[in-house]
């Protein structure tokens, strides 16, 4: 089988999505650590357009953008499917993946907000969570139904990071009485064996993100 390499940075939610997908499919890979302040020539060669991580390189051929990578992994290694098997449900899954991409940015915006901006970014993040709680997840065990899927990976990275970011910026949004379905889901998600074994340590994440936020606020 052709070699698989994942170019990434530590503690990136986008990189974790790809790690989870590869591990759920049992695909062996080599992790290539990138220094984002000093991007390697190889990274720039593989992703000249966006110059970002993650980049998956399979047999020397690069795939960029985390959700494009996830669909590529799903199609290339069909064992343990992470997407529904009929076109309509797949289209719905893609809708929620796009929603996670477009609206999930509210969480990263919150992380980068100054005190003045925080009210607005919190509001955006709350709206996103409300829509997902009511219309995306509903009563299901996973977004993908009985089994974990790509939509779960997309939201998993957002919500797991949100739980840490909330603490750092001093905002309490993801409350269990407001989001009972999402609260139950994130616990179920974290207990899936592959996920449990491949989650960044929350304390380490807290320390790293705190430092990053201090740097951001200092240069703001």
Partner 1 sequence: MSKGEVVLLDCWASPFCLRAKIALAEKGVEYEARAENLFGGKKVPVLLHDGKPLCESTIIVNYIDETWPSPPLLPSCAFERAKARFWSDFIDKKYATYGKARARSPAKNEFIEILKQLEGALGEKDFFGGDSFGFVDVIAIPLTCWFYAVEEFGGFKVENECPKFSAWMNKCMQRETVARILPDPEKVYEFVIMLRNMFGIE
Three-state SS string over 139-178 comes to: CCCECCECCCCHHHHHHHHHHHHHHHHHHHHCCCCCCCCC
Among 95, 211, 214, 216, binds partner 1 (CB under 8 A): 95
Provide the token pair at 186.
Answer: 């994130």
Residue 103 found at the interface with partner 1 (CB under 8 A):
no
In whole angstroms, give the CA distance from residue 35 to residue 9: 7
**Are the beta carbons of 82 and 149 closer than 8 angstroms?**
yes
Give 87 or 193: the residue with its C-beta nearer to partner 1: 87
Contacts with partner 1 by CB under 8 A: the residue count is 21
Q: Which residues in 37-56 contact partner 1 (CB under 8 A)? A: 49
Residue 98 found at the interface with partner 1 (CB under 8 A):
yes
Contact segment (CB under 8 A) with partner 1 among 94-102, 108-116, 130-138, 183-191 equals 94-102
Compute CA distances 27 → 5, 10, 121, whole Å. Answer: 11, 20, 37
**Residues pairing with 62 in the sheet:** 57
Residue 92 found at the interface with partner 1 (CB under 8 A):
yes
Residue 65 found at the interface with partner 1 (CB under 8 A):
yes
Footprint of partner 1 (CB under 8 A): 49, 58, 61, 63-65, 67-69, 71-72, 75-76, 87-88, 90-92, 94-95, 98
């Amino acid at each position: 089988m052709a070699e698989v390499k994942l170019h990434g940075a530590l503690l990136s939610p986008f990189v974790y999505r790809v790690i989870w997908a590869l591990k759920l499919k049992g695909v062996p890979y080599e992790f290539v650590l990138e220094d984002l302040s000093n991007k390697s020539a190889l990274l720039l060669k593989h992703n000249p357009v966006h110059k970002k991580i993650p980049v998956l390189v399979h047999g020397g051929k690069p795939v960029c953008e985390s959700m494009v990578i996830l669909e590529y992994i799903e199609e290339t290694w069909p064992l343990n499917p992470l997407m529904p098997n009929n076109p309509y449900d797949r289209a719905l899954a893609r809708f929620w993946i796009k929603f996670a991409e477009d609206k999930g940015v509210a969480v990263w915006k919150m992380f980068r907000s100054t005190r003045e901006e925080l009210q607005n970014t919190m509001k955006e993040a709350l709206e996103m969570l409300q829509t997902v709680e009511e219309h995306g997840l509903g009563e299901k065990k996973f977004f993908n139904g009985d089994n974990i899927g790509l939509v779960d990976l997309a939201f998993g990275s957002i919500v797991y990071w949100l739980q840490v970011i909330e603490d750092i910026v001093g905002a309490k949004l993801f409350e269990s009485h407001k989001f009972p379905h999402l609260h139950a889901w994130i616990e179920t998600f974290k207990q899936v064996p592959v996920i449990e074994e491949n989650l960044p340590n929350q304390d380490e994440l807290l320390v790293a993100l705190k430092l990053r936020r201090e740097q951001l606020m200092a240069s703001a």
